[in-house]
Chains A and B, each alone.
Chain A
């Protein structure tokens, strides 16, 4: 019941667009404009199988189900399966979530699966429903697990991303990976999961205290802090070849963040006697100090242009968000209200910053514009931490604590829709969302 109340609370808040005043006003919330929630109606026909019996995909799902899930998870589509092409009657149709469809389809998806020498191939087609014209047609390889006798979902994810891009102009994030820390007993390690909760893989076997993973934009490396050599160090895990390299060591290095062009890494270190932000080349070389303060400066996040960084500092008492230019100049305080604002992540489009803020003794998620204005609360009663943007700039993944355990959840900050990503044993937290990925990588020798 509390679960339902929490979810309802989120939806109500997102729909109503609650907001707090920016800059020091005591009143908690004011209303802002409603978020964009329009969803494009789209139909998926049953796939055809070229001299093949239909195969199942991971999770014993049909191909059309995997695709429908991907499109529903974008929060950009109303999806109907196997719509009668020439006898469309909106009042009689329900979408895949059981909701009535009140608008005419705008597009239709067809899929044909065949066997080639290299394996299974999906030829996916997107059609304009009004004109019947082909918008695009592409082929995708479908991996095959000969032990489980099921196909891999990755090729479907790629098709879904192409549909999303062609119809919305926004890059989809179905074919991306999410890294996170999973704790079982005293053991902590990095894990990877697809955005639909499938293909969970263990990326390290370090069995130690480990935190703050961050993707290199190439998708090949993951930086994180680990204690497996005793003292904490920032390591870079090569997902293609396996193996670990030290990016920063000594004096509590933490919170690594690669710039969007992949050339630099920012992190905090206490080498000057207290936590300061440093910026180094992405291999850890040539570190230079960015902030100068006797306070704690940590949790840096780059703007998309790489010209600025947002970070947490308690230099004026309580932890608040600040912005600084990449050369260390033009420091500006972004948040003033509340006792604790932390864990910022700059959106891919550059206009918004999601962060965690303490309300009534518990952390919730909130959103501000890049200039600090337009504070908007995103969650209620959730004990939510470490929000990280999806590459689509619309969804945010975060860790939520409930009944003594932590799981990963994904929130659409525009519509307020929410879904739980992980239901694994132990605690799942500290998520990091990869950029667009060409393939699903996992280190051949986890942990190096």
Chain B
């Protein structure tokens, strides 16, 4: 009887040890249990920890407008400097696409100014392309005299409205 009792005790001990080993294997393969997270406060973004070194902030591309003489689309010396700076900025930020808007002052008919605005936008685009900017990154549009920047009826306002205006699209 004592012998039988000892055998039962050993079997029970063996089962306990075996079960214990089996449990330890399962524990090793399972993902660690995450501690419960407090829900983020409303309207606050969840900020994840950076996995690597932080990247530098995206470069801010600033492009200046080029201005023109009355009924002209030739690039003036001052516009040449502006467009050169624009070209350098675009060559440094090759993922940037732009739209060039051609604008005119109120003198001249609306129909003619549509064509003149187009010619100014093309003139600015051609300069940038010669500078090395990929033409597929540049879209042009003419607004003629339809969307003036300045509302006056004098040379100060007219000069402000004769321009190629640069817009960054992405």
Contact = CB atoms under 8 A, between A and B. Distances in A.
A in complex with B? yes
Interface of A: 188, 209, 211-212, 225, 227, 231-232, 251-252, 254-255, 268, 270, 273-275, 296-299, 312, 314, 318-319, 340, 342-343, 356, 358, 361, 363, 385-386, 404, 430
A342 B108 CA distance: 8
Given A232-B141, A296-B119, A312 B112 contact: yes
A266 to B, nearest CB: 12
Query: 4 closest A-B pairs (Cβ-Cβ)?
Result: A275-B115, A255-B111, A254-B114, A296-B115
Contacts of A268: 111, 114-115
Contacts of A386: 109-110
Contact of B111 (A251, A312, A358): A312
B161 interface: no
A55 B153 CA distance: 47
A134 B118 CA distance: 60
Interface in B111-142: 111-112, 114-119, 122, 141-142
Given A273-B122, A386-B109, A231 B114 contact: no
A314 B108 CA distance: 12
Contact of A298 (B71, B107, B114): B114
Contacts of B116: 296
B146 interface: yes
B143 interface: yes
A211 B112 contact: no
A298 B112 CA distance: 6
B94 to A, nearest CB: 25
Contact of A270 (B71, B109, B118, B143): B118
Contacts of A314: 71
Given A209-B143, A232-B141, A252 B118 contact: yes
Contacts of A319: 71, 108, 112
Given A209-B146, A209-B147, A232-B141, A356 B109 contact: yes
Contact of B142 (A252, A361, A385, A430): A252
Contacts of B107: 358, 361, 363
Given A232-B141, A270-B118, A275-B118, A385 B153 contact: no
Interface in B71-123: 71, 107-112, 114-119, 122
A209 B108 CA distance: 17
A343 B113 CA distance: 11
A25 to B, nearest CB: 23
Contact of A252 (B108, B110, B114): B114
Most chain A CB inside 10 Å of its own CB: which residue of B107, B109, B114, B117: B109
A232 B114 CA distance: 10
A271 to B, nearest CB: 11
Given A231-B141, A273-B122, A211 B108 contact: no
Contacts of A340: 71, 108
A385 B106 CA distance: 11
Contacts of A361: 107
A415 to B, nearest CB: 26
Contacts of A363: 107, 109
Interface string B147-158: 100000100000
Given A225-B114, A273-B122, A299 B109 contact: yes
A322 to B, nearest CB: 13
Contact of B109 (A231, A385, A404): A385
A33 B10 CA distance: 136
Given A252-B115, A270-B119, A363-B107, 6 more contacts: A188-B146, A211-B111, A255-B111, A319-B108, A340-B71, A385-B110
A406 to B, nearest CB: 10
Contacts of B141: 231-232, 252
A347 to B, nearest CB: 19
Most chain A CB inside 10 Å of its own CB: which residue of B112, B142, B146, B147: B112
A212 B111 contact: yes
A318 B108 CA distance: 11
8 contacts: A212-B111, A251-B118, A252-B117, A254-B114, A273-B122, A298-B112, A312-B112, A342-B109
Given A231-B141, A232-B141, A299 B112 contact: yes
Contacts of A299: 109, 111-112
A377 to B, nearest CB: 17
